Amino acid sequence: MKKYDTASYELIVLDHSELNYQEISHLETYIDTLLHENKTRIIIDFSKVDHVTSIGMGGLITILQKIQEQKGDLKLINVHKIYDMLKTGGLDRVIETHSKMQ
């Protein structure tokens, strides 16, 4: 996972092809740290991710809830490879997604 500090959002680039239990655990821990630092506007880049497990989906919902509790914002970008998985899980209706950075 790589992180980039942008002007208004924290950009996190996932660097594994699968968002599984281990990766979502690392991501949740990192986002908890950001939220503790009052960094509540977060973009996650999925350009390298080919698959999201059911545990990864659940973790994304948990992350969204934590961010919303802090009145923050979560966006997922470069989701073209996993969009069907997000749609099947209903996440496309609750998390803002983009094919690329806007």
pLDDT in tens, the chain (102 residues): 655 555 689 999 999 999 999 999 999 999 999 999 999 999 999 999 999 999 999 999 999 999 999 999 999 999 999 999 999 988 889 998 887 655
Is the CATH number 3.30.710.10 carried by domain 2-98?
Answer: no
CB-based contacts of 100, cutoff 8 Å, min separation 6:
77, 78
Domain ranges of the chain: 2-98
Are the CB atoms for 14 and 24 separated by under 8 Å? no
Q: What is the pTM of this model?
A: 0.88
